[in-house]
Amino acid sequence: MHSSNPHLLVVGSVAIDWIITPHAEREESVGGSATFFAMAASYLSRVRLVGVVGGDFPQAAIGDLRDRGVDLTGLEVIADGKTFRWKGRYHDNMNDRTTLATDLNVFESFTPKLPPEFRGSDFLFLANIQPKLQEQVFTQMQRPRLVGLDTMNLWISIANEELRSVLRHVDVLTLNDEEARQLSGEHNLVKAARGVQRLGPKNLVIKRGESGALLFDHEGHVFAAPALPLEEVIDPTGAGDSFAGGFMGYLARPGVEPTGASLRTAMIYGSVMASFCVEGFSYDRLRQLDTASIQHRFEAFSSLTNFARANLLD
Ligand code: AMP
């Protein structure tokens, strides 16, 4: 029996970022793949988080996640350890970025141990972190209905075998276009998608920043979601994770079944949450939302691609 009010479990990084954009800089910006995911998903479903931080992680950020109703029973705090740190610089187009530093710190010796009640979670998202840790979480789960995963170029390069191993269990994979090319060895995106699907994930979401996102689904269909043209992008960090949070958060809502149609709707909720994320540093914008503002933006996405049908053959 499926639970009538499902739980969505995320494991991933909880981080302190140093962000440099062409317009501004923030040195201690709370980030991490699991953080953005949880913040975004918390508006749509019941979220549980597994991760680790050091004693330097701001208490206020823990409070922010709690205020959003995120269950932090699985967040380990190593008082004398240092939080994962990432430093990145965005190029002038605010889309491409260069990683300047990645310090795994407490993630280096982290072995995730799921609280017993987390193991029965209905939905699982393995947000970007070492593939070995993603697999360790997966193996502790009882029988999740849907497993999503995100990763990045670093792990495709240095932990390819581990990544391929965990991918065999994944229903939905999110990657950006370069990562899809890197993982498949194909330049053409359609061929790259087919190559990635052969590794396990029946559904693949390719994120393309300001060009939106593509879904290659288990029925062989392709769906394109636009990105909202925004006047001001403050900080793109976490857009991919927020997309995943909106996407999985929608699928984990009571009564939603993961059909092709609901995967497409999930693509729009993902795009909505990503569009909010980039409007501020860290999760500044994400934490101030409410259901009405999210639904309002969902409608804006719908008008963006709403056109009158015409037929030259009539
Ligand atoms: P996104 O912009 O959605 O790709 O995610 C950005 C977030 O990913 C930042 O907040 C970083 O802390 C986090 N991040 C960057 N590199 C890594 C990594 N190697 N493993 C896990 N998380 C990372």
pLDDT above 90 as % of the chain: 97
Ligand 1 center from residue 128 Cα (angstroms): 7
The full set of domains in the chain, from first to last, is: 7-305 (3.40.1190.20)
Q: In the prediction, which pLDDT does 2 show?
A: 62
Distance CA(168)–CA(51), nearest Å, equals: 23
Asked if 15 contacts 84 with a C-beta cutoff of 8 angstroms, the reply is yes
pTM here is: 0.98
Distance CA(42)–CA(246), nearest Å, equals: 9
Is it the case that residue 3 has pLDDT exceeding 80?
no
DSSP 149-171: EE--HHHHHHSHHHHHHHHTT-S
Residues 189-237 have pLDDT tens digits of 999 999 999 999 999 999 998 999 999 999 999 999 999 999 999 999 9
Ligand 1 center from residue 88 Cα (angstroms): 9
Distance CA(206)–CA(187), nearest Å, equals: 13
Ligand 1 center from residue 33 Cα (angstroms): 5
Residues 58-91 have pLDDT tens digits of 999 999 999 999 999 999 999 999 999 999 999 9
Contacts of 43 (CB under 8 A, 6+ apart): 68, 249, 273, 289, 290, 291, 294
Other CB atoms within 10 A of residue 266 CB: 28
Q: Which atom of ligand 1 lies closest to the CA of 35? A: 10
Q: In the prediction, which pLDDT does 4 show?
A: 80
Distance CA(17)–CA(252), nearest Å, equals: 29
Residues 230-267 have pLDDT tens digits of 999 999 999 999 999 999 999 999 999 999 999 999 99
Ligand 1: list residues with CB < 6 Å.
13, 15, 17, 31-33, 86, 102, 128-129, 152, 154, 237-241
Is it the case that residue 1 has pLDDT exceeding 80?
no
Ligand 1 center from residue 303 Cα (angstroms): 31
Of 16, 27, 33, 282, the residue with max ligand 1 atoms within 8 A of its CB, to mutate for a pocket test, comes to 33
Q: Whose CA is nearest to atom 9 of ligand 1?
A: 32
